[in-house]
């Protein structure tokens, strides 16, 4: 009894050979890309980390608390605020909640995903 591969036509055998060569070349080409990507850092990693540290630091937290209190007081005690002034105060409240929220939730013991 002949082996199975010998019973195949030449066209099918050539197709198997071509597919095998393509898979082999692809594996050899992709492997170094994965190996190099784990050890190096990207050029924008440091500026993004600096921005994150600045937005979650003590100065940003203090500014956001003051802005939160000032905007809240303006909304409460402001008699007749126009539509634009109310929207501006809501924007200030939203930004201060975003900046202050990280510190507030961390103080409560709630943290997000650590990557």
Per-residue pLDDT band for 77 (boundaries 50, 70, 90) equals confident
- Segments making up each domain of the chain, as ranges: 4-39, 45-107
Virtual torsion, Cα 9, 14, 15, 19, nearest 10 deg? 140
User: How many Å apart are CA 2 and CA 40, to the nearest integer?
Assistant: 53
Per-residue pLDDT at 20 = 85
Kindly tell me the sign of the dihedral angle through the C-alpha atoms of 13, 18, 19, 21.
positive
Per-residue pLDDT at 42 = 78
Per-residue pLDDT at 35 = 57
């Amino acid at each position: 009894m002949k082996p199975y591969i010998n019973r195949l036509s030449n066209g099918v055998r050539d197709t198997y050979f071509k597919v095998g060569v393509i898979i082999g070349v692809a594996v050899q080409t992709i492997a170094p890309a994965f190996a190099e990507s784990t050890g190096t850092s990207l050029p924008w990693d440091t500026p993004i980390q600096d921005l994150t540290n600045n937005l979650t630091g003590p100065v940003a937290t203090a500014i956001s608390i003051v802005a939160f209190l000032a905007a809240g007081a303006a909304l409460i005690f402001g008699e007749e605020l126009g539509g634009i002034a109310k929207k501006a105060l809501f924007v200030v409240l939203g930004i201060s909640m975003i900046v202050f929220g990280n510190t507030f939730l961390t103080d409560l013991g709630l943290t997000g995903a650590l990557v």
